[in-house]
Structure 1
Amino acid sequence: AFLNGNQDEVVYMIQPEGFVDPINAGKICKLQKSIYGLKQASRSWNIRFDEVIKGLGFHQNEEESCVYKKESGSAVVFLIL
């Protein structure tokens, strides 16, 4: 899930262990998306999730930020993280 989070800031990392590319051996990587292990990953994923869910017509509960609600006719859907 965290792999889909967007980055709000520029993050660079060294090449992962086991990465073998003699042409680019001394280069670093610029991350385009959040990945596991980054302290920003959870927040980035949560912001992206919130945008997508609200785009689908859900409304966030004011008292409990992890609860979303969508009403359609007589049907009510709750989404709880």
Structure 2
Amino acid sequence: MKDEMNSMANNQVWDLVELPKGAKVIGCKWVFKTKRDSLGNIKIYKARLVAKGFTLQEGIDYHDTFSLVSKKDSFRIIMALVARFDMELHQMDVKTTFLNGDLEEEVYMKQLEGFITNGNNHIVYKLNKSIYGLK
């Protein structure tokens, strides 16, 4: 959980602000997953902060949805080029790739229990970047 919060801070995902009058605030939750190796041994415990984006309404809280993901066709083309030109292919995983999407809308999210800054319960997160769970 601390790693996830550090990633959020390093990527400047949000600013701490007072909730503007009339603004809607959404909740969030932790999603936990256990990653295992090929033998079934526990390799790593993962925690991901997810916004409760199901409370957002299209046309009111957001207008477009977009996700930066690759398509199967793109992958097949790359694999064909690698095979054709006898190239080497290296795979990598970017933990925080989802945090690169800037938000155009103003979205406010409640602070997490256990991570409330300086006892300021009335302060909320104003999201600058998209996080998992948003529409």
Shorter-normalised TM range: 0.3 to 0.5
The structure with the greater share of residues assigned to strand is 2
Query: What TM-score do you get using the length of structure 1 for normalisation?
Result: 0.41
Query: What TM-score do you get using the length of structure 2 for normalisation?
Result: 0.26
